Amino acid sequence: MISDFGMSYADASVKGTFGYLDLEYYYSRKLTRKSDVYSFGVVLFELLTARRAVDERNEEDQCSLVRWAQRCVKERKLDQIIDSYIKGAISDKFLKRFAQIAYRCVLNDPKERPAMTELVGSL
């Protein structure tokens, strides 16, 4: 489990790594496979951007990687989030597809997130 959720099954307190936790978990206190999909999406965005899930050194609107990346993908501003080391080394088509996959993983509604099997096929 990406977010250290293995320990959180034992009691009701929130455990896991901040920034990777599914927001729905805070509301429902229930872990699902889609909670891991969310965490996996955060990792995909980290790979794409070379940024941490939460980095308070960034400007306020960029402190949360997920919120910032979601906005950039939605506004079709991928050039703002892609790590400079991979720009030009990977086709724009692939980068766009990769960003869309990550975006779907971190959707607020867990029902709208893809299953892990679908992610594996897409990647």
User: Which SS3 state, helix, strand or coil, does residue 64 take?
Assistant: strand
Structure tokens at 52: 């941490």
What is this structure's pTM?
A: 0.82
Task: Evaluate whether residue 8 is within a structural domain.
Answer: no
Task: Evaluate whether residue 7 is within a structural domain.
Answer: no
The set of residues, in sequence order, having a beta carbon less than 8 Å from that of 119 and lying 6+ positions away, is 37, 40, 101, 105
pLDDT in tens, 62-120: 568 999 999 999 999 999 999 999 988 989 899 999 999 999 999 999 999 999 999 98
Residue 35 near residue 9, CB atoms below 8 Å: no
Task: Evaluate whether residue 35 is within a structural domain.
Answer: yes
Please count the structural domains in the chain. 1
Task: Evaluate whether residue 109 is within a structural domain.
Answer: yes
**For range 7-34, the mean pLDDT:** 69
Exposed/middle/buried for residue 120 (C-beta within 10 Å: 0-12, 13-18, 19+): exposed
Q: What is the largest CA-CA distance in the chain?
A: 47
30 is in which domain, residue-wise? 16-122
Task: Evaluate whether residue 6 is within a structural domain.
Answer: no
Task: Evaluate whether residue 10 is within a structural domain.
Answer: no
Task: Evaluate whether residue 96 is within a structural domain.
Answer: yes
Structure tokens at 65: 């990687």
Q: What is the CATH number of the domain that holds 81?
A: 1.10.510.10
First-last CA distance in the chain: 19
